[in-house]
């Protein structure tokens, strides 16, 4: 377990060892202009699917099914920004989000 108390891998730009991209669709990105922030994953209908705390370096990552998604960045002061993204099997969809 990590210091934060969960078994999630540390959020870094490099994918964790052992990730087989031939069987995964990955959405990841870097958030700039925010202190503490959250990245929320919404499916094609806007339904909540998951959420992670953005790392101190601004990095977040989701492993998702192929298809259309929205990443919602939620930062302090009521700042929220939605970014549409298409996840594809075998690819890392890389986002740069300024808030």
Question: Which residues form the domain of 76?
Answer: 22-98
The alpha carbon of residue 72 and the mean position of all alpha carbons in its chain are separated, in whole angstroms, by 9
Q: What is the pLDDT of residues 1-51, one digit of tens each?
A: 344 545 555 666 677 667 777 888 999 999 999 889 999 999 999 999 999
> What CATH number should be reported for the domain holding residue 34?
2.60.40.10
Considering the domain boundaries, does residue 58 fall inside one?
A: yes
In a domain, residue 2? The reply is no
Q: How confident is the model at residue 90 (pLDDT cuts 50, 70, 90)?
A: very high
47-79 pLDDT, tens digit per residue, is 999 999 999 999 999 999 999 999 999 999 899
- 86, 87, 89, 91: CA torsion to nearest 10: 90
Number of domain units in the chain: 1
The predicted model scores a pTM of 0.82
In a domain, 5, yes or no: no
Say if 37 falls within a structural domain.
yes
3-state secondary structure of 21: helix
């Amino acid at each position: 377990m990590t210091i934060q108390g969960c078994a999630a891998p540390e959020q870094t730009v490099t994918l964790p060892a052992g990730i087989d991209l031939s069987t995964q669709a990955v959405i990841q990105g870097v958030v700039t202009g925010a202190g503490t922030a959250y990245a929320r994953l919404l499916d094609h209908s806007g339904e909540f699917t998951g959420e992670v705390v953005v790392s101190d370096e601004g990095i977040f990552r989701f492993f998702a099914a192929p298809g259309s998604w929205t990443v919602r960045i939620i930062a302090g002061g009521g700042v929220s920004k939605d970014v549409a993204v298409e996840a594809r099997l075998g690819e890392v969809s890389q986002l740069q989000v300024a808030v």
